[in-house]
Structure formats: C-alpha cells, structure tokens
C-alpha cells in the first residue's frame, strides 16, 4: 500500500492552502462582504444624488466600505473558484503523474494490431497465442479490446497455452469484470468461488442480524449459528463502540535528532492541532483528524495520524490527508525528508501491540449473559467448565504463547469469514482478529457472563471490495449497504458490532465444544464426508473419551 523511498510522490499544492480557513468558507465570507459593501455604497450614492452632495466627499463609513469592496474584489479575483480551477488542473496532472509507469508502459506497448487487423477483430484463439508468445501485452487486453470479459477469457486461454495447465475449472462467466478492473484486481482470469453460509439470527443491541460468512471450513458456520442460538435464547448481546479512527504513520527523517524532536514537540503542541487538522480535513468530506502522535527512533520520526472516515474503512482517505499534512510540514521543517507515507507504526496488516493498546478502526466490546439452562441444553456443557477452560486456554495458554491480542479461541475464523462475505480487506484480519475473550460465572454461579474485547476491527461499507455485487448483497442482508445517509459512519460501526457479536457466538460455541470434548467428532462429521473417516472419527472420539476418563481417575 505504501510507497517507499525518498522520492515519494508529492501531491500538488493548492494556492488556497495558504488560507487559514477552508477556501469554501473564505469564498462565502468575501462574497458577503463584497455585496454588502456594494449595496451600502449604492444606497449612499443615491442619497448623495438626491441631496446634491458631491460624490467624492466620503464619510469614514463610506471610506471603510470602499476599502472593504476593493479588498474583497481583489480576493475574489485571486481566489474565487480557484479550488475548482485547480482541482481540474490537478486532476489532469494526477492523471498524467499517477501512472508515470503507465506512460512508460504505453510507450512500450506493442502495436494494437495482429495479423494485419486491429486487435479486437482477431479471433480469441489467435489473440491468446499472441499473448502467450509475448507479441501482445497481457496487461493491455482490457484497454485494447474494450471488453473486460473477453480480455479475461483471452488471458485465461493464454495462461493455459503458456503453462500447459488447464484452468477449465476456474469460472469465468457470472462476474461483472467492469466493477473489478482498475479497482479490485488486475490481470484477471476468472474468480474463485467461496460458499457463503448464514449464521443467526444474531440478537444484538435489540436487533436481529443474519450474518453472512464466506468460508470453506466445515463446522464454522454451524458452530457460529449455535452460538447465536445460545445468545438469542438468553436475551441477546450488547455492544459498544469505544473508539472509531483509522491510523496512518509516515516515517520522516532529519539530519539530526534536534529536527526530529522539534517536529515531535510541534505536532504534539495542542496549539498547532487546528492548523494541522484544517490542512488534513481539506482532502475529504468524511476524513476528520482526531489525533497525532509522534515517536522517535534516533533522528527519524514516526507520526501516527488517527482520523474518522465515515462509512469507509479509510486507508485511501487517511493516506490523502496525511500526504497533505506532510506537504505542509515540509514548509515548516525544510530539513524534513519524507521516507515513506507508511512507517509501520500505522500498523496495517501486522500483529502489533500499538493496535492492541491504542486501537485501530473500530474498538468494539460485546457482552452477553448466557443462562445456565441454555449453557447445558444448547451448548451441552456447564458454566464452570467454560470458565475454567477460558482461563487455562484463552488467558494462561495464550500468555505462555506470548500472544499479541490472541487471547481468544478462534476470533479470526469468524472475522475472516464475515470480512470475505462483506468485501472487507481480508489481510486486515490480522489486527481485526485481536480479541480478548472473558468468561465469568455470574448470578451466583448459575449463568455465564461472556465478553469479547476487540480494539482494532477495520471495516467499511463503502469503497474497496464492498461495491462488488455479491459482497454488497451480503451487506444488504445486514441492512448496512453503502453510505449511511443520515449519519455517515453508522453503517460501518454497525458492521463492526456485528463482527464482534458473531465472534462472541463463535467463541461460545467452540469453547463449549472443547469443554464437552466434541471438537474432533464434529470436525469429522462436517469437514470430511467419507464414511470411513467418520468411523475413524468415532474411534478417535472413543479414545478421547477414554483419555478423559483416565485423566479424571488419575
Ligand atoms: P477507503 O479510504 O476505505 O480506501 P475509498 O477512498 O476507496 O475508501 O472510498 C471511499 C469513497 O466513498 C470516498 O471517495 C468518499 O468520498 C466516498 N463516500 C461516500 N459516502 C461516504 C461515507 N458515508 N463515508 C465515507 N466515504 C463516503
């Protein structure tokens, strides 16, 4: 995601960046001043004509009105509409700059002809031969053919020709390639099918959700479904969003420690926050800077920006805002050299303590009290067995393993399945699955109190893969497709709550299966279909039972 190296692409500066307020506000202000002064002067002019007063004799108010009119006129000539004009210019510049590599590629492009005909007029087999032999560039097929499906089909065949391996089982039809190319995937040859199951209803914060889960792991949906049932029969789960902000941390370097320390003090001085956030917020209607923290490693500074991003997960948005601030900071600290817009303190797609402690994306907590009879009838275990297992496995066991946020049974199973179904970035499963599962006996030991604490659930309902047809259908099932028109950000927060609620259900069910010694049996049943293996599963279960008996008698 992040670009490395010192030659970082610097986004163009706007003349309006010099203004202390956003240009839209100053435009309005000066328009009002200009028209008010003009109106006042015209009234005075009429009055003077009526009373035959010479026009050049100006009172103090009139002099002020003239100065205001001239000043606002100069402003309006200088700035009015400049954002629009510059955005058009910069858009073109962006298009010219962004694909600098593409220009290079274009200049190396083979002639868009094959066998003396324009490429689209050739048959697919000839095209595939030409691609596999390198006479036609594979990456250029979409542009040259102007047909994304045909491009994928030709490329798929070309790969078969060049590798000598069949891709027949990889589906091609049934996908809208227009919505993918240029956004979600390149060099497309088809798509992989992942089954989607549903767990639920999940009763969460008084509402029922049917949770879509894309997975190839047998048992997972069934198990989460059982957890949902236990939660539902106990009156539902409750969730809270404690924090909502994505982070990005560029690394910048100075010639000595002094410069890096000055930057840190500057950034952490609350008097400077307004300026920095104005520069940052200018890049998007939704990105709003929340905080800036700076850590040093020698003469290098790592600046962790945190911002809200509406219903988007927000990585693109925050990167734009951060780039704007870096440009601004460069003027304040000319000695500063931007090494990379991401310096890994972000921390994106890595298991880190910084996310575990500070949070990233949505910090969610979800809890439920599971009634004792539900524990025995639905989960087939006991409150005390669950509490003991949770302590020994999720707390002590994970502590021994040196886990970073891995104090749970299988949060990542549920997180990944919901992420894939709803078009999230599956790689962010790493930190989004950080979870602390707690189980305590409550109501005099009768019932089970269970909670999951997840500080870094990174989700969005707009942007990225969420706009693809099947993923957006899954979001629709949850009633949170796209942008929330009344309260931007609410849909993404609801998705984070649902993820946490589903994790709670998954934790309950797997822990119960473990406590009851059912795990091997159920996996044998759902993960492997052959009867022999099922029989083996039974055998294994018997030996497991024997082992448990031996353990309890010893
Ligand atoms: P990300 O930052 O998660 O990578 P994108 O930048 O790809 O997301 O997509 C977000 C886009 O959707 C932005 O252009 C933003 O202006 C637009 N958008 C529309 N409605 C919303 C909303 N409610 N919340 C966030 N972004 C929104």
315 lines ligand 1 (CB under 6 A): yes
482 pocket-lining for ligand 1 (C-beta < 6 Å): no
User: With contact defined as beta carbons under 8 Å apart, do 227 and 507 qualify?
Assistant: yes
Query: Which atom belonging to ligand 1 lies closest to the Cα atom of 285?
Result: 16
Can you give the pLDDT at residue 429?
98
Q: How far is the CA of 352 from the centre of ligand 1 (A)?
A: 26
Is 286 touching ligand 1 by the criterion CB < 6 Å?
Answer: yes
Q: What pLDDT, on a 0 to 100 scale, did the predictor assign at position 83?
A: 53
506: which residues sit within 8 A by CB, 6+ positions away? 220, 223, 224, 227, 409, 410, 411, 413, 414
339: nearest Cα among 100, 12, 3: 3
The three-point CA angle 35-40-42 to 5° equals 95
CA nearest neighbour of 384 among 436, 444, 448, 443: 448
Dig out the tokens for 81 from the structure.
């509409």
Ligand 1 mean position to 488 CA, how many Å? 10
* DSSP-derived secondary structure letter, 462: B
> Is the CB of residue 458 below 6 angstroms from any atom belonging to ligand 1?
no
Neighbours of 169 (CB within 10 A): 7
User: Helices 490-515 and 411-422, interaxial angle, to 10°?
Assistant: 140
- Has 425 been annotated as catalytic? yes
Measuring CA to CA, how many Å separate 214 from each of 29, 323, 402? 52, 35, 30
The beta-carbon contacts of 479-482 under 8 Å, at least 24 apart in sequence, are 479/209, 482/311
Count the alpha carbons within 13 Å of 52 in the hemisphere toward its beta carbon: 0
Please say whether the beta carbons of 344 and 261 come within 8 A: no
What is the pLDDT at residue 29?
85
The residue annotated as part of the active site, out of 17, 147, 160, 217, is 217
- The protein residue whose alpha carbon is closest to atom 2 in ligand 1 is 314
Q: Which fold has domain 250-340?
A: Alpha-Beta Plaits (3.30.70)
CA 281 remoteness from chain centre? 18
Closest CA to 266 of 289, 293, 231: 293
HEC string of 110-177?
CCCEECCEEHHHCCHHHHHHHHHCCCCCHHHHHHHHCCHHHHHHHHHHHHHHHHCCCCCCCCCCCCCH
312 CA distance to ligand 1 centroid (A)? 5
Return the structure tokens found at 337: 């050299």
Q: Is 523 a catalytic residue?
A: yes
Residue whose CA lies nearest to ligand 1 atom number 9: 463
Q: Which of 367, 523, 525, 538 is catalytic?
A: 523
361-370 and 238-248 beta bridge pairing: antiparallel
Burial of 440 (0-12, 13-18, 19+ CB in 10 A): middle
Global pTM value = 0.78
Query: What's the 148 CA to ligand 1 centre distance in angstroms?
Result: 25
Which of 328, 355, 358, 357 is CA-nearest to residue 252? 328
CA of 541 to the centre of ligand 1 (A): 50
Match domain 196-244+360-527 to its CATH number in 3.40.50.300, 3.40.640.10, 3.90.770.10, 2.70.70.10: 3.90.770.10
* Residue at token pair 């406590």: 515
Tell me whether residue 113 is one of the annotated catalytic residues: no
| Whole-angstrom distance, CA of residue 266 vs CA of residue 250 | 16
| Closest of 223, 230, 232, 225 to residue 211, by C-alpha | 225
Tokens of 226: 């059982």
Instruction: Determine contact, residues 111/137, Cβ cutoff 8 Å.
Output: no
Whether the CB of 480 sits within 6 Å of ligand 1: no
Dist. CA 258–CA 204, nearest whole Å = 52
Domain parsing of the chain, residue ranges: 23-81, 124-179, 196-244+360-527, 250-340
Pocket lining: 483 vs ligand 1, CB cutoff 6 Å: yes
CA of 344 to the centre of ligand 1 (A): 23
Name the residue among 194, 192, 193, 191 with its Cα closest to residue 220: 194
Cis peptide before 464 (omega within 30 of 0): no
Nearest residue by C-alpha to atom 1 in ligand 1 = 314
CA distance 396 to 403: 10
* Test site for ligand 1: of 312, 317, 349, most ligand atoms within 8 A of the Cβ: 312
| Main-chain dihedrals φ then ψ at residue 189, nearest 5 degrees | -125, 0
The tokens describing 87, both together, are 């955005």
Tell me the β-bridge partners of 118: 113
Distance 510 CA to ligand 1 centre (A): 36
Please list the alpha-helical segments (H only) found in 378-485.
383-389, 398-400, 411-422, 429-432, 469-477
349 is catalytic: yes
- Comparing CA positions, the residue from 152, 366, 363, 349 lying closest to residue 242 is 363
Q: Which residue has the tokens 């822990």?
A: 511
In angstroms, the CA 73 to CA 16 distance is 16
Nearest-CA residue for atom 3 of ligand 1: 314
Tell me which residues of the chain have a pLDDT lower than 50.
1-15, 90-103, 105-107, 531-554
Helix count and strand count (H, E) for the chain: 21, 13
Q: Of 237, 172, 179, 167, which Cα lies nearest the Cα of 208?
A: 237
Other Cβ atoms closer than 10 A to 286: 18
What spatial distance separates the first Cα and last Cα of the chain, rounded to whole Å?
55
Task: Say if ligand 1 is within 6 A of residue 488 CB.
Answer: yes
């Amino acid at each position: 995601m992040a670009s490395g190296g010192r030659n970082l692409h610097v986004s163009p500066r706007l003349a309006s960046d010099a203004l202390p307020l956003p240009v839209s506000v100053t435009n309005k202000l000066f328009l009002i001043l200009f028209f008010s002064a003009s109106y006042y002067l015209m009234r005075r002019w009429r009055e003077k004509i009526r009373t035959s007063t010479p026009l050049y004799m100006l009172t103090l108010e009139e002099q002020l009105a003239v100065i205001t009119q001239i000043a606002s006129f100069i402003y309006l000539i200088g700035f009015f509409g400049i954002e629009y004009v510059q955005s058009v210019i910069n858009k073109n510049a962006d298009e010219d700059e962004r694909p600098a590599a593409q220009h290079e590629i274009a200049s190396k492009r083979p002639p868009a002809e094959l066998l003396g005909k324009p490429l689209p007029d050739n048959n697919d087999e000839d095209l595939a031969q030409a691609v596999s032999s390198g006479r036609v560039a594979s990456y250029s097929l979409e542009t040259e053919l102007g047909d994304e499906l045909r491009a994928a089909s030709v490329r798929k065949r070309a790969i078969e020709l060049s590798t000598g391996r069949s891709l027949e089982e990889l589906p091609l039809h049934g996908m809208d390639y227009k919505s993918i190319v240029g956004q979600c995937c390149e060099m497309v040859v088809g798509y992989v099918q992942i089954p989607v199951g549903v767990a639920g209803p999940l009763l969460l914060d008084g509402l029922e959700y049917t949770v879509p889960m894309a997975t190839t792991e047998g048992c997972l949906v069934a198990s989460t479904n059982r957890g949902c049932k236990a939660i539902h029969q106990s009156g539902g789960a409750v969730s809270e969003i404690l924090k909502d902000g994505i982070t990005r941390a560029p690394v910048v370097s100075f010639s000595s420690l002094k410069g890096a320390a000055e930057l840190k003090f500057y950034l952490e001085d609350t008097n400077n926050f307004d300026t920095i956030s104005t520069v940052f917020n200018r890049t998007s209607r939704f990105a709003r800077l929340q905080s800036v923290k700076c850590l040093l490693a020698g003469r290098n500074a790592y600046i962790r920006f945190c911002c809200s991003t509406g219903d988007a997960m927000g990585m693109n948005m925050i990167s734009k805002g951060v780039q704007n601030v870096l440009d601004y900071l460069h003027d304040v600290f000319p000695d500063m050299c931007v090494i990379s817009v991401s310096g890994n303190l972000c921390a994106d797609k890595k298991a880190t303590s910084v996310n575990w402690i500070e949070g990233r994306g949505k910090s969610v907590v979800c809890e439920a009290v599971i009634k004792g009879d539900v524990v025995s009838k639905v989960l087939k275990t006991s409150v005390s067995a669950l509490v003991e297992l949770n302590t020994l496995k999720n707390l002590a066991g994970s502590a021994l393993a040196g886990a970073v946020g891995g104090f749970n049974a299988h949060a990542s199973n549920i997180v990944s399945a919901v992420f894939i179904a709803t078009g999230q970035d599956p790689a962010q499963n790493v930190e989004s699955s950080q979870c602390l599962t707690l189980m305590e006996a409550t109501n005099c030991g009768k019932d089970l109190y269970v909670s999951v604490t997840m500080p870094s659930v990174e989700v969005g309902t707009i942007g990225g893969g969420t706009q693809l047809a099947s993923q957006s259908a899954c979001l629709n099932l949850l009633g949170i497709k796209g942008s929330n028109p009344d309260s931007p950000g609410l849909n993404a927060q609801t998705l984070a709550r649902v993820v946490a609620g589903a994790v709670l259900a998954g934790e309950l069910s797997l822990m119960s299966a473990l406590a009851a010694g059912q795990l091997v049996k159920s996996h044998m049943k759902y993960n492997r279909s052959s009867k022999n293996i099922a029989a083996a599963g039974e055998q294994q279960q018997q030996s497991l039972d024997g082992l448990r008996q031996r353990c309890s008698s010893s």
